[in-house]
Amino acid sequence: MEVEVPKLEPIADVVVSTNAIDAPSVLALAIAGLGLHPSSPTPLVDVIVGAQYGSEGKGNICAHLANDYQVLMRVGGPNAGHMVAEPLYKYVQLPSGTQSNKAAKILVGAGATLWLPQVLEEIEDCKLTPERLSIDPQAMIIETLDREMEEQSLEVIGSTKQGVGVATARKILGRGGGGQYGAPTRLARQVKELKDFVRCTKRELEKAYAAGHPIMLEGTQGTDLSIHHGPYPHVTSRDTTASGCLADAGIAPNRVRKVIMVTRTYPIRVGGTSGPMMKEIDAQTIAQRSKLPIEQIQKTEVGTVSGKARRIGEFDWEQLRRAAVLNGATDIALTFVDYLDAANATAKRYEDLTSATHEFVKQVEAVANAPVTLLSVGFGPDLITRNETL
């Protein structure tokens, strides 16, 4: 039959010589020759990032919005846990909307760092199948020694000591072969327990683009923990801005539709020597101002991963402005508005919030140059949705 192939050349829509190229290159040329690429990429990706030092409440925001998307993607590592109120769960490695939208495809990007016991636990808890979950083969595996090394050396910067930084360093230094920092580099593609879930997430993203499926990319930690843009050395081991999350996921900037920046009314940091804050206060101060029970605040302000009591600061307007510029924020999700006034705790609509809260929202919008379109009251599943007003 092959000898008859040349007879097809005069009637073929596209002719590709296969003498010097492999099958994937033939396919790429055929697709281009048939004009199957869209004229310009359609923006389908919404990025959720934190504006401050993490723990802004991204988990509940992502879970609340999850049903608007057909693909949920996460990057980062187990040094950041995202709590979701309904169903109550702590997501450490998987997207926070995994159980909120059970029809969505779940992706873990190439830039992720994985603690295998945690990943397997979440896969089991969420009853994920290989048809639903894709883990990129390039994702880095954290080893026990990575965690032990961070236990010994990173308390001084308030690290959660989950091994993410050492594993990331090994991924960089292990390119010449052999072991660096005492362990050889191991990627997701080399882990037998994950083999059914490992596939190229960039291909999965391309399928979503072609089908017109909206995608949520969930960042971890906060902008001021970026290794490049935060107050070094009190930073994490990756870039936590929207652009850093896109790079870790393998998503081009022109695919982005929105950048939703999650912002707390009072920023927090991990307890201990975790770095500078503009003006540190305590739970008692918030309780006095808001008339909330101090016990409620103290119960909430405990690190999801570290378990330590959090440090609390006054709202930093320069931090907000800087984060909005770095991330290209298109929307603001303002969390913990009950910390401004206990009267907000029962609010169901924007109009139910106090006038002082409305004024605070206006100031946030002016400084960030982006509308506050979502507000949350405490830790719960209900959010207040607000039309853009800028």
Q: What is the pLDDT of residue 30?
A: 81
Q: Please tell me whether residues 13 and 158 are part of one structural domain.
A: no
Per-residue model confidence as pLDDT tens digits over 211-230: 999 999 999 999 999 999 99
The residue assigned the tokens 């896969």 is: 123
Per-residue model confidence as pLDDT tens digits over 32-59: 887 777 768 899 999 999 999 999 999 9
Q: How far is CA 114 from the centre of its chain?
A: 14
The span from the CA of 318 to the CA of 9, in Å, is: 64
What backbone phi and psi angles, to 5 degrees, belong to 284? -60, -40
236 assigned binding-site residue:
yes
- Residue 39 belongs to a domain: no
The residue assigned the tokens 């697709």 is: 31
What is the DSSP secondary structure assignment for residue 127, as one 8-state letter? T
Q: What is the pLDDT of residue 129?
A: 98
Q: Are 266 and 52 in contact (CB under 8 A)?
A: no
Q: Please tell me whether residues 29 and 52 are part of one structural domain.
A: no
358 is catalytic: no
- Residue 89 belongs to a domain: yes
336 assigned binding-site residue:
yes
Contacts of 22 (CB under 8 A, 6+ apart): none
The span from the CA of 196 to the CA of 102, in Å, is: 19
Catalytic residue (choose from 37, 64, 82, 228):
82
Q: Please tell me whether residues 28 and 50 are part of one structural domain.
A: no
Q: Are 73 and 249 in contact (CB under 8 A)?
A: yes
- Bridge-based pairing of strands 331-335 and 372-376 is parallel
Exposure pattern of 179-215 as b/e (b: 16+ CB <10 Å)? ebeebebbbbbebeebeebbbebeebbeebbeeeebb
82 assigned binding-site residue:
yes
- Residue 71 belongs to a domain: yes
Tokens of 33: 């020759």
160 assigned binding-site residue:
yes
Averaged pLDDT for residues 86-115: 96
Q: Please tell me whether residues 8 and 73 are part of one structural domain.
A: no
Nearest to 350 by CA among 383, 320, 381: 383
Q: What is the pLDDT of residue 190?
A: 97
Q: Please tell me whether residues 28 and 87 are part of one structural domain.
A: no
310 assigned binding-site residue:
yes
Strand partners, 83: 90
Q: Please tell me whether residues 273 and 300 are part of one structural domain.
A: yes
The span from the CA of 161 to the CA of 150, in Å, is: 5
Q: Please tell me whether residues 16 and 66 are part of one structural domain.
A: no
Distances (CA, A) of 389 to 99, 121, 211, 263, 362: 32, 43, 32, 18, 9
- Residue 109 belongs to a domain: yes
Q: Are 324 and 253 in contact (CB under 8 A)?
A: no
Domain count, the chain: 2
80 assigned binding-site residue:
yes
Total-model pTM: 0.91
Range of the domain at 300: 45-385
- Residue 390 belongs to a domain: no
Q: Please tell me whether residues 21 and 101 are part of one structural domain.
A: no
Task: Label residue 179 by pLDDT band (50, 70, 90).
Answer: low
Per-residue model confidence as pLDDT tens digits over 260-294: 999 999 999 988 788 899 999 999 999 999 999 99
Q: Please tell me whether residues 21 and 136 are part of one structural domain.
A: no
Domain harbouring 61, CATH code: 3.40.440.10
Q: Is the model more confident about 299 or about 116?
A: 116
Per-residue model confidence as pLDDT tens digits over 230-270: 999 999 999 999 999 999 999 999 999 999 999 999 999 98
Q: Please tell me whether residues 28 and 77 are part of one structural domain.
A: no
Q: Are 361 and 315 in contact (CB under 8 A)?
A: no
Per-residue model confidence as pLDDT tens digits over 287-339: 999 999 999 999 888 866 666 788 999 999 999 999 999 999 999 999 999 99
Q: Please tell me whether residues 111 and 176 are part of one structural domain.
A: yes
1 assigned binding-site residue:
no
Q: Are 215 and 46 in contact (CB under 8 A)?
A: yes
Exposure pattern of 128-158 as b/e (b: 16+ CB <10 Å)? beeebbbbbbbbbbbbebbbebbeeebeebb
Q: What is the pLDDT of residue 300?
A: 86
- Residue 292 belongs to a domain: yes
Averaged pLDDT for residues 180-189: 82
Q: Please tell me whether residues 27 and 140 are part of one structural domain.
A: no
